[in-house]
């Protein structure tokens, strides 16, 4: 993922850095000083740090005049990949047109190997050309968008499992089907899974073969320890496609990728959508996908079909996936409900919900009011409290829902108010009854209840304490393959441990 990392670091020209400078007559401490030096083509240097937090630093230096242009040098002094350090790259700009934008633009073009009059040269350029000859490349698909129909995949389910600091996939018996080799992975959906490292992500099939090479990252990052890790740029596959939101030299508009790894709508969208400033697409569900369009004073959401036809006009403040013929939508903050495929409100009778999530297993999690959770059926509220069975002759009790995830395999994760006022992490059935409490299982202390892990293919993956008692002192929601004092287990719908990471 080197070229992408370089492009992000170049943006650091807009951020002032501290530290030693290269040998020059002037050592600038801000970009205005350096731009003035370029305009005069006088020797000067300016040190920058990476605003994305990727651990890279570099220096710009004015070299001197080349004809009517001014030659500038750039080199990394620090980089997560040592192979990029101390390899200078030179390029030229027109002094009369010098600005932070033109200097940054010239360097970006050099590092992304675009043609131009920038006269790019030097060891860094050669290294980038050698290690990333086709960065950001992806074969374009032909014909209509192959999305909108569920995909059935033969074969037993595969489950992510870490070993020796890397992720791979096992079957229900714990037998390795894809050897451990990645820093982070996602669950399989429709026979495809996202796999990645600190920055680069790709997509594999059930054999572990890449259908999209591990070369892509998103523009968003998360902090893990003291490092920044790029989040996956790919959504889970749904109805034949994934939605991609990748970063190469800049954030690109979202587009679709089919199960063969071919891209659609990346270079050009359907004619009906070209005049719209669409910022994002959602996944296809029941043949429709939501889109988010810039519409001052705020973004609006609508839905399209696979041909790119706008089926529901962009009139909603928020949107979600269709399921059981209904999709969550809102017309303003705190005014949510469920609409039908013709865009009409169906549930409840007015826009009275504070928030709503898509249906799953016939139930949808909603917030009737702020900080108040409930589940709804397609016609009415199902339950707003969960029922704890009585133990040792005690009476059953009910508890308000603080927050919850979606139902899968007949169970949903819920954070409910415990008897002592704290929050209890439980799994409930479709009647609102507590099926089991993970922390009540022998030797189990859940470390990641905030993520409300959901069931998938009959099992749910949890991070639990090695000593069965405490998870303090670490951030356990990052999906790393190894934690100092915790490990992964899978629990089945009966509340029994089905798989456990080898410690």
**pLDDT, tens digit, for every residue of 80-106?**
567 778 889 999 999 999 998 889 888
Structure-block tokens of residue 23:
């040998």
In this prediction, residue 81 carries a pLDDT of: 63
Q: What residues form DSSP beta bridges with 274?
A: none
Indicate the angle between helix axes 31-40 and 100-111, nearest 10 degrees: 80
In this prediction, residue 20 carries a pLDDT of: 32
In this prediction, residue 135 carries a pLDDT of: 47
The confidence band for 118, taking pLDDT boundaries of 50, 70 and 90, is: confident
- Residue 23 scores a pLDDT above 90: no
Q: What is the DSSP string of 233-263?
A: SBPPPBTTEEEE--BSSSBPPPEEEETTS-E
For residues 291 and 277, what is the distance between their CA atoms, to the nearest angstrom? Answer: 10
- Residue 131 scores a pLDDT above 70: no
Residue with tokens 């451990």: 180
**pLDDT, tens digit, for every residue of 352-410?**
999 999 999 999 999 999 989 999 999 999 999 999 987 777 788 999 999 999 999 99
φ, ψ (nearest 5 deg) of residue 232: -65, 135
55 Cβ contact list (under 8 Å, min separation 6): 78, 79, 80, 227, 228
- Residue 115 scores a pLDDT above 60: no
In this prediction, residue 158 carries a pLDDT of: 98
Q: Taking all residues of the chain, what is their mean pLDDT, rounded to a whole number?
A: 88
What residues does each domain of the chain span? 2-131
Structure-block tokens of residue 201:
């992500």
Indicate the angle between helix axes 2-10 and 100-111, nearest 10 degrees: 170
In this prediction, residue 132 carries a pLDDT of: 42
- Residue 133 scores a pLDDT above 60: no
- Residue 70 scores a pLDDT above 90: yes
Residue with tokens 């890279």: 56
Range from 23-32, 119-128, 444-453, 492-501 that averages highest in pLDDT: 492-501
3-class DSSP state for residue 461?
A: strand
- Residue 108 scores a pLDDT above 70: yes
For residues 86 and 55, what is the distance between their CA atoms, to the nearest angstrom? Answer: 15
Instruction: Report the pLDDT averaged over residues 404-422.
Output: 92
48 Cβ contact list (under 8 Å, min separation 6): 12, 13, 15, 16, 17, 57, 58, 59, 60
* Residue from 320, 409, 332, 398 nearest 366 by CA: 320
Report the percent of the chain where pLDDT is more than 70.
Answer: 89
With beta carbons less than 8 A apart as the criterion, state whether 50 and 59 touch: no
With beta carbons less than 8 A apart as the criterion, state whether 278 and 293 touch: yes
3-class DSSP state for residue 21?
A: coil
């Amino acid at each position: 993922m080197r070229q992408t990392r370089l492009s992000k670091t170049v943006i650091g020209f807009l951020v002032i850095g501290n530290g030693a400078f290269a040998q020059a007559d002037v050592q600038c401490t801000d970009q205005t000083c350096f731009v003035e030096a370029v305009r005069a083509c006088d020797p000067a240097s300016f040190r920058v740090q990476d605003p994305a937090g990727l651990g890279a630093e570099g220096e710009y230096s004015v070299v001197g005049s080349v004809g009517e242009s001014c030659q500038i040098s750039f080199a990394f002094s620090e980089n997560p990949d040592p192979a990029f350090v101390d390899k200078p790259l030179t390029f030229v700009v027109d002094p009369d047109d010098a600005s932070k934008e033109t200097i940054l633009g010239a360097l970006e073009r050099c590092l992304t190997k675009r043609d131009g009059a920038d006269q790019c040269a030097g060891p860094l350029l050669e290294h980038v050309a050698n290690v990333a000859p086709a960065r950001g490349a992806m074969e374009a698909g032909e014909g209509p968008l192959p999305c909108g129909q569920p995909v059935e995949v033969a074969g037993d389910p595969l489950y992510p499992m870490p070993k020796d600091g890397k992720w791979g996939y096992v079957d229900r018996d714990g037998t390795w089907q894809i050897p451990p080799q990645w820093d982070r992975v996602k669950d399989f959906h429709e026979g495809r899974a996202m796999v990645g490292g600190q920055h680069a992500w790709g997509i594999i099939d059930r054999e572990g073969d890449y259908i999209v090479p591990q070369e892509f990252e998103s523009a968003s990052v998360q902090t893990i320890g003291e490092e920044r890790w790029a989040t996956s740029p790919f959504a889970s596959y749904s109805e034949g496609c994934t939605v991609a939101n990748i970063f190469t030299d800049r954030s690109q508009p979202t587009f679709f990728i089919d199960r063969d790894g071919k891209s659609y709508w990346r270079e050009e969208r359907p004619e009906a959508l070209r005049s719209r400033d669409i910022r994002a697409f959602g996944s296809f569900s029941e043949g429709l996908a939501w889109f988010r369009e810039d519409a001052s004073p705020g973004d609006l959401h609508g839905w399209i079909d696979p041909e790119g036809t706008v089926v529901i006009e962009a009139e909603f403040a928020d949107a979600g996936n269709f399921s059981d013929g209904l999709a969550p939508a809102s017309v303003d903050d705190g005014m949510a409900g469920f609409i039908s495929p013709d865009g009409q409100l169906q549930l409840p009778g007015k826009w009275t919900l504070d928030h709503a999530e898509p249906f799953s297993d016939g139930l949808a999690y909603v917030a009737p009011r702020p900080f108040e959770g409930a589940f709804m059926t397609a016609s009415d509220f199902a339950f707003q409290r969960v029922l704890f069975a009585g133990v040792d002759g005690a009476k059953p009790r009910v508890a308000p829902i603080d927050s919850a995830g979606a139902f899968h395999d007949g169970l949903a994760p819920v954070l409910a108010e415990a008897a002592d006022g704290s929050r209890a992490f439980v799994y409930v059935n479709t009647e609102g009854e507590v099926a089991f409490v993970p922390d009540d299982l022998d030797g189990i202390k859940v470390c990641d209840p905030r993520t409300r892990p959901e069931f998938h293919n009959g099992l749910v993956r949890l991070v639990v304490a090695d000593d069965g008692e405490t998870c303090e002192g670490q951030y356990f929601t990052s999906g790393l393959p190894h934690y100092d004092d915790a490990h992964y287990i899978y629990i089945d719908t009966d509340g029994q441990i089905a798989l456990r990471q080898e410690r």
